[in-house]
């Protein structure tokens, strides 16, 4: 199994995709909301969402397993049931959940690769949406169906909607990894291009400032 601190050996990167606006818009009110996204190594997931206007924090962590083995050494074995994931806290008055979904599928994760993103493979690198409310679940289901009909990718979408479970924040050195380690080889090869794609495809949503979690 790969671990995202290892040098990237693959020859080509992931491609950004111009995803459509959601036909079903999220109706969220009552202040800040949270949502969980799993899309491969959490450094890049966190890095992209930390540059989205309206996102108040993006915290890297582990979702889908137990606290007993929610640590990086164990999770990278692929045997704990966790996914590397990011908990995003956002202001729906600035960026709605459906807009976060659109960004996720456009520049964060390839939804057609099963248990794999970029150079990393194993169930801990699966792509998954983890709604934290009935409204998010409704919107996520509708957007997955919309993307399936749009046929933007050559292969079928394998991203799943997972039931919310306990989220365990990752170790401190993983938090805000991109801004702390801008010249790390993995960041330069795999994750910095995702942020550039965010800026290119979603200029109105892009923030040049990295929002620390």
What would the two tokens of residue 24 be? 């079903």
**If residue 130 lies in a helix (H) or strand (E), which one and from where to where?**
strand 127-130
Nearest-angstrom CA–CA distance, 180 and 70? 23
Of 22, 26, 38, 41, the catalytic one is 41
Which pairs count as long-range contacts for 130-133, CB under 8 Å and 24+ apart, including other chains? Answer: 130/35, 130/36, 130/37, 130/38, 130/63, 130/85, 130/161, 130/162, 130/163, 130/164, 130/165, 131/35, 131/161, 131/164, 132/33, 132/34, 132/35, 132/36, 132/164, 133/28, 133/33
Using DSSP, state whether 22 is helix, strand or coil.
coil
What would the two tokens of residue 167 be? 């989220």
Phi, psi (degrees; rounded to nearest 5) at 187: -60, -45
Cβ–Cβ < 8 Å for 114, 208? no
Is residue 41 part of the annotated active site? The answer reads: yes
Query: For strand 127-130 and strand 160-161, is the pairing parallel, antiparallel, or unpaired?
Result: parallel
Catalytic residue ranges: 41
């Amino acid at each position: 199994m790969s671990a995202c601190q290892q040098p990237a050996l693959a020859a080509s990167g992931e491609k950004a995709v111009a995803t459509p606006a959601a036909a079903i818009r999220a109706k969220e009110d009552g202040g800040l909301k949270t949502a969980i996204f799993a899309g491969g190594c959490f450094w890049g997931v966190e890095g992209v969402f930390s540059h989205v206007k309206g996102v108040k924090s993006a915290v890297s962590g582990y979702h889908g397993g137990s606290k007993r083995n929610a640590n990086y050494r164990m999770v990278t074995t692929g045997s704990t049931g966790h996914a590397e994931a990011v908990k995003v806290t956002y202001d729906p008055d600035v960026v709605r959940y459906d807009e976060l979904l659109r960004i996720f599928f456009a520049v964060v994760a390839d939804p057609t690769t099963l248990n794999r993103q970029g150079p990393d493979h194993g169930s801990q690198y699966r792509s998954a949406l983890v709604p934290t409310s009935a409204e998010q679940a409704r919107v996520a289901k509708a957007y997955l169906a919309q993307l399936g009909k749009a046929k933007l990718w050559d292969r079928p979408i394998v991203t799943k909607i997972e039931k919310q479970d306990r989220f365990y924040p990752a170790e401190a050195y993983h938090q805000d990894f991109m801004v702390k380690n801008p010249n790390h080889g993995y960041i330069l090869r795999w994750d910095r291009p995702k942020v550039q794609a965010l800026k290119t495809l979603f200029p109105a949503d892009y923030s040049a400032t990295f929002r620390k979690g």
